[in-house]
Amino acid sequence: MEEQGNVKELEVKGIIGFDGSTIKGLIVHSDGKHVIYPIGNKVIVQDWTTRKQSFLTGHTNAISAVAVSRSGKYIASGQINHIGFKAQLIIWSYNELKIMDTHELHKVRVEAVSFSSDEKYCISIGGRDCEQVVVWDIENRKVICSEHVTKGVQGEPFALATLERRSSCFIVGGEELLAVWRFDKEVKRLVCYEVSMPKMRRTFLCIDVDQRDELCFCGTSTGDIVKVRLNFHHDPENVAPLRDPKVIGCFARISKKKLPQGSVDLYENGVRVIKRLPSGQLLIGAGDGTLELVEESAPKIPKVKGVKMPSLPALKVLKSTKVNNTITSIAIMQKTTLLVATTACEIFQIDMNNFDPRLVVTCHTSPIYCVAFPHEFSDVFATASKDDVRVWAISNMQELLRIVVQNFSCSEVVFSYDGKCILTAWNDGIIRSFTPLTGRLMYSIFNAHNKGVSAIAIASHGKLLVSGGCEGQVRLWEITPHHQTLICTLKEHKSPVSAININKTDDEAVSASTDGTCILWDLENKVRRQIMFSNTLFMTVKYYPTSVQILTGGSDRKISYWEILDGSLVREIEGSQSGAINTIDISPCGEFFVSGGNDQIVKLWNYQQGVTTRIGLGHSAVITSAQFSPNAQYIVTTSAAGSIYVWYAPQQVEEIMEPAKSAASLPEEENIKDLASARSSGSGVQSKSERTDSCCYSSSASSSCSKVSICQDSLCSSCNRKKCVSCKSSCKDSKCSTFKPKSIGSSQLSCQDSKCSSRKSGPTKPESVKSHITNCGKC
């Protein structure tokens, strides 16, 4: 872990994420071991063997273009920005993994970027709002020249390719646009040589140039391949073409079946990626997911009079395979393996000998709204997103199950406590239950909420389901395998319900809403117990494991502690300096909690002290959900970019959990740290000296207990969270023979501990609570 000030970083176990929408976004480094690709606003450098990842952080919005220099020394990346703003382009040092240079000379979007063959220049083109080409001098860190690339009826540019032997020349392709450009560093001028295309109109999506700068092959949206002679002199020092470049062929596949007159076999949805091999063969990736290895052969032209062929059938297919979605990148690794990326955020590994695709990377293509673990099972977790719910193995980060519901978004996913079903909430107003092994639909609750289901929670016995909707209603459902019945509707919230949580004893639930209220519900009497107001949009709420307090987070960037008994605010801490708090989860032992929000930083907090102990950096978009694993070894966080991060939980959590497992003879609640009442102290937290006096003597004192429990005070300096040797008044262990809780007397006090034998019902006198807690051995 690396330290930043006094706060250490969380260690990443693994990342599930890839942005497949970037054209040529997957690149194999020249060392043959690393791959470079974007995720959101970060560039990832990943060791393909060990899966170890490094992050290049500097962009403020999604990355739209990536390029790597020939030797691998530099990485360039361009981003998208809001309309009317400049788009940033960053040049990175690969060895140092830091920013070398940056400029903002394009408007809104950087469409494509490339390095010259001698690695001295970085060339980039803007999108439809810019349409400018910029040549950047890397050594001198300044712009050489820039020029508009479109003229007349020509549309926006899409493709950019630099020449292999002439560092000052490059080719730009787009809508009815194909031209060779040459820049002169001395006079700072760009010269354009348009490719002659008589009677042909095409939109060029990709370009690749041969090693001798004689020919280039261009993929079109029509689905054919255009071959261009560049007409350069054989001497590389002569950088100007002898005459204008010219199209010498427009080729389609040689079809194995009979086609109608005047038609040819074209690639569906256009040719998106083209890569020329040293042997002269072409790798073609199409919009329908087709990947083919072809070579040019003599065209077979049918003898048809009066019909003009749009392109010649001159490409012989040698090998072919198909992936499920549009191909955006083709990269060659170790000469025999292909890495193919698609718009579905998937990476396929293909052996060039047999052309069999194998899926190696997959992830969500849309924002992830929720993550959930099964009860007391940490090997798998589920995530909810648009169109699907997926189950992942935490050991190898592989997808185990995919549940697809087309055209709808899943807002929340939970496992039943017995692990027999996966409950999901959808924006079409339906609650769906699936089997966890096969993903088969078990039942659906139609019209659960008329504006979409936004939150759900299930009781431990599995017979009660609480749901919240975008209309602000909270509904209780009786769940059985054969029928699902609405029990009641609770109408208190005025805005969408953002989160619901049920306490440990299943008799109370809390709901958070964007109307600025959190409501505690009595699930037995179906009435409101408490309501908490705040000037914020509540986004998340969680019960403390002993159900004595709740944590909330929202748009005011604050994390708030609330007392369950009277709904009072105990403590309020600043959870973020720049954005809303979207998610909170408390560790099973209650010692820590994790938060995430719009600042893209995962923060681990000490619950009692309210201070940050660890931070997690790496998310490239807003953090939407976070969850501790039941064994407290991992923290899983998700983001709006569709990426999933699995972090190692720090050792402090594990050290607390292990003694709790060994104390099998203790009741379950005694393994969780009890919290003092908010009304027992003005600040809600006792001073260090008070805690030391009321907890333990020094280690030299004699022990009178045969069974001693873990010290309940995290600030005790004498025991240092080790086993207590001797207690000042009476032992905290109810199993100990020396344990003698002192009576409360005749006061009409109500003990704060539901397990305390001295608990009495009746009105509570706030002024006497502190003396009662001092006298009660259980409190």
Mean pLDDT, residues 693-717: 39
Same domain for 484 and 620? yes
pLDDT of residue 302: 62
The Cα 238–Cα 169 span in angstroms is 11
Beta strand pairing status for 312-322 and 246-253?
parallel
pLDDT of residue 423: 97
State how many domains the chain has. 3
Report the length, in residues, of the chain: 779
The Cα 581–Cα 601 span in angstroms is 10
Mean pLDDT, residues 605-624: 92
Name the one residue in this structure whose structure tokens are 């054209």.
23
pLDDT of residue 236: 87
Q: According to the 3-state scheme, what is the secondary structure of 429-478?
A: CCEEEECCCCCCEEEEECCCCCCCEEEEEECCCCCEEEEEECCCCEEEEE
693 vs 224 pLDDT, higher one: 224
Average pLDDT score over the chain: 84
In a domain, 32, yes or no: no
Q: Going by C-beta distance under 8 Å and a sequence separation of 6 or more, which residues neighbour residue 416?
A: 375, 422, 423, 458, 462
Same domain for 501 and 537? yes
The Cα 698–Cα 717 span in angstroms is 9
The Cα 386–Cα 345 span in angstroms is 14
User: Residue 547: pLDDT band by 50, 70, 90 thresholds?
Assistant: very high
Residue among 499, 469, 507 nearest 585 (CA): 499
pLDDT digits (tens, 9 = 90+) for 30-86: 999 999 999 888 899 999 988 888 889 899 888 999 999 999 999 999 999 999 999
pLDDT digits (tens, 9 = 90+) for 344-398: 999 999 999 999 999 999 999 999 999 999 999 999 999 999 999 999 999 988 8
Give the residues across from 597 on adjacent strands. 581
The Cα 513–Cα 370 span in angstroms is 17
Mean pLDDT, residues 196-209: 91
In a domain, 681, yes or no: no
pLDDT digits (tens, 9 = 90+) for 619-648: 888 999 999 999 999 999 999 989 999 999
The pLDDT of residue 731 is above 50: no
pLDDT of residue 303: 63
The pLDDT of residue 489 is above 70: yes
Mean pLDDT, residues 549-568: 96
Q: Which string of b and e fits 383-414 if b means at least 16 CB within 10 Å?
A: bbbbbbbbbbebeebeebbebebeebbbbbbb
Same domain for 593 and 511? yes
727 vs 389 pLDDT, higher one: 389
In a domain, 668, yes or no: no
Mean pLDDT, residues 242-265: 86
Same domain for 732 and 745? no
pLDDT of residue 754: 45
- Of 285-294, 344-353, 447-456, 657-666, the poorest mean pLDDT is in 657-666
pLDDT of residue 593: 97
User: Residue 652: pLDDT band by 50, 70, 90 thresholds?
Assistant: low
Same domain for 693 and 764? no
pLDDT digits (tens, 9 = 90+) for 258-305: 877 778 889 999 999 999 999 999 999 999 999 999 999 877 666 665
Domain that holds residue 726: 687-699+708-739
In a domain, 353, yes or no: no
User: Residue 682: pLDDT band by 50, 70, 90 thresholds?
Assistant: very low
Query: CA angle, corner 690, sides to 689 and 691, nearest 5?
Result: 90
Q: Is 775 helix (H, G, I), strand (E, B) or coil?
A: helix
Element of type H or E holding 272 = strand 271-276
In one-letter notation, the amino acid at residue 610 is G
Name the one residue in this structure whose structure tokens are 């240079």.
101
pLDDT of residue 481: 82
pLDDT digits (tens, 9 = 90+) for 742-764: 333 333 334 444 444 444 443 33
In a domain, 441, yes or no: yes
Same domain for 480 and 611? yes
In a domain, 622, yes or no: yes
Name the one residue in this structure whose structure tokens are 């720090």.
650
The Cα 379–Cα 453 span in angstroms is 28
Same domain for 600 and 693? no
Give the CATH number for residue 491.
Answer: 2.130.10.10
Mean pLDDT, residues 701-723: 41
Mean pLDDT, residues 392-410: 94
Element of type H or E holding 771 = helix 769-775
In a domain, 470, yes or no: yes
pLDDT of residue 15: 87
Same domain for 550 and 627? yes
In a domain, 669, yes or no: no
pLDDT digits (tens, 9 = 90+) for 162-185: 999 999 999 999 999 999 999 999
Tokens of residue 112, six digits: 């494509």
Same domain for 713 and 751? no
pLDDT of residue 256: 81
768 vs 645 pLDDT, higher one: 645
User: Residue 770: pLDDT band by 50, 70, 90 thresholds?
Assistant: very low
C-alpha 136: how far from chain center: 33
Tell whether the torsion through CA atoms of 117, 119, 121 and 125 is positive or negative.
positive
Name the one residue in this structure whose structure tokens are 């993929």.
219
> pTM for the full model?
0.75
Output the CA–CA distances (angstroms, integers) from residue 542 to 78, 268, 458, 700, in the order listed.
40, 50, 14, 41
Same domain for 535 and 602? yes
Can you point out the beta strands (E) in 280-356?
282-286, 290-296, 312-322, 327-333, 337-342, 347-351
- Helix ranges, 491-572 (H): none
Element of type H or E holding 54 = strand 53-57
The pLDDT of residue 697 is above 60: no
Residue among 562, 491, 479 nearest 521 (CA): 491
Same domain for 480 and 577? yes
pLDDT of residue 715: 43
Same domain for 735 and 752? no
pLDDT of residue 749: 37
